[in-house]
Amino acid sequence: MLNFDENNIHISISSFAQVLKIHQRTLRIYDKQGILSPLRTKGNRRSYCLSDLEKAKFILFLSRNLGINLAGIKIILKILDKNNIKPENYFKYINDIAFDLKINKNIQNENILKNAKRGRKKK
């Protein structure tokens, strides 16, 4: 469900999860870990905004493409915050650093494959 006001768009957890193609439980974990904490409605429901969407896409990129765990993501987000980097600039900032560290698309693809196999039983 989307709600509009003059300042922002607010998205329910179910709609937000659908847009990101992740489970609502994942968003609850991010909230509990302090990685992505949306505003709350008067009824204490999570209410996501467009800035949260940019941040969530970035979190998924870090975990899926770079293989970074939640503790590492939390540290990266804190560093970005301390450097006053806005969520819409996260990707450029990190891509510049990844380029300097020679973390290229091949390494990212290897991490994607490793993460896809994580938790699966061997046959």
Q: What percent of the chain has pLDDT over 70?
A: 87
- Structural element, H or E, at residue 40: strand 39-40
Task: Look up the CATH architecture of domain 2-117.
Answer: Orthogonal Bundle (1.10)
Distance (Å, whole) CA 80 – CA 96:
13
Strand-pair partners of 2: 11
Q: Locate 54 and state its tokens.
A: 């940019």
- pLDDT tens per residue, range 20-57: 999 999 999 999 999 999 999 889 999 999 889 999 99
Query: How high is the pLDDT of residue 6?
Result: 42
Query: How high is the pLDDT of residue 3?
Result: 55
Domain definitions of the chain by residue range:
2-117
Query: How high is the pLDDT of residue 30?
Result: 96
The closest alpha carbon to 35, from 67, 70, 60, 82, belongs to: 70
- Structural element, H or E, at residue 120: none
Amino acid symbol at 100:
D
